[in-house]
Amino acid sequence: MSDQHVDTTPVWVEGSALVAPVILGAAAGLLVGDMMHSNARRGVGISLGVLGVAALLPFVVDGVAGLITGPKSKFGVNRKIQKIRDIGIGSPSHDDVDEVLREQGVI
């Protein structure tokens, strides 16, 4: 068995987590800055803030899902046990070598 860790996190989750602080910073800059009319600045700032929070949502959802179904949670342990139990379901009740040896009269 390999001891290497395989990361199953989708690439877009990491990308959105990296972009979110930039968008939130731009939103804060627009809300504080005096370059625009206050009503226009407020609307653009709020919309960028909402976009930043939306960019963080996949990261948060992935983290919460990991807590709920991770290997240390109740559901994760049950899933692991079920996988271990399911491994034996498809295996035959006898070995092919035993069958060949019986046909040859050795056993």
pLDDT at 56: 85
Give the predicted TM-score (pTM) of the model.
0.46
Count CB-CB contacts under 10 A for residue 23: 19
Name the DSSP class of 77: H
Q: Where are the domains of the chain?
A: 1-69, 71-107
| 34 pLDDT higher than 60 | yes
| 98 pLDDT higher than 80 | no
Tens digits of residue pLDDT in 2-28: 556 666 767 777 777 788 888 888 888
Tens digits of residue pLDDT in 40-90: 878 888 888 898 888 888 888 888 888 887 878 888 888 888 888 877 666
- Sign for the CA dihedral angle at 73, 78, 84, 90 comes to negative
Q: Is 65 helix (H, G, I), strand (E, B) or coil?
A: helix
3-state helix, strand, coil in the chain (%, to 5): 70, 0, 30
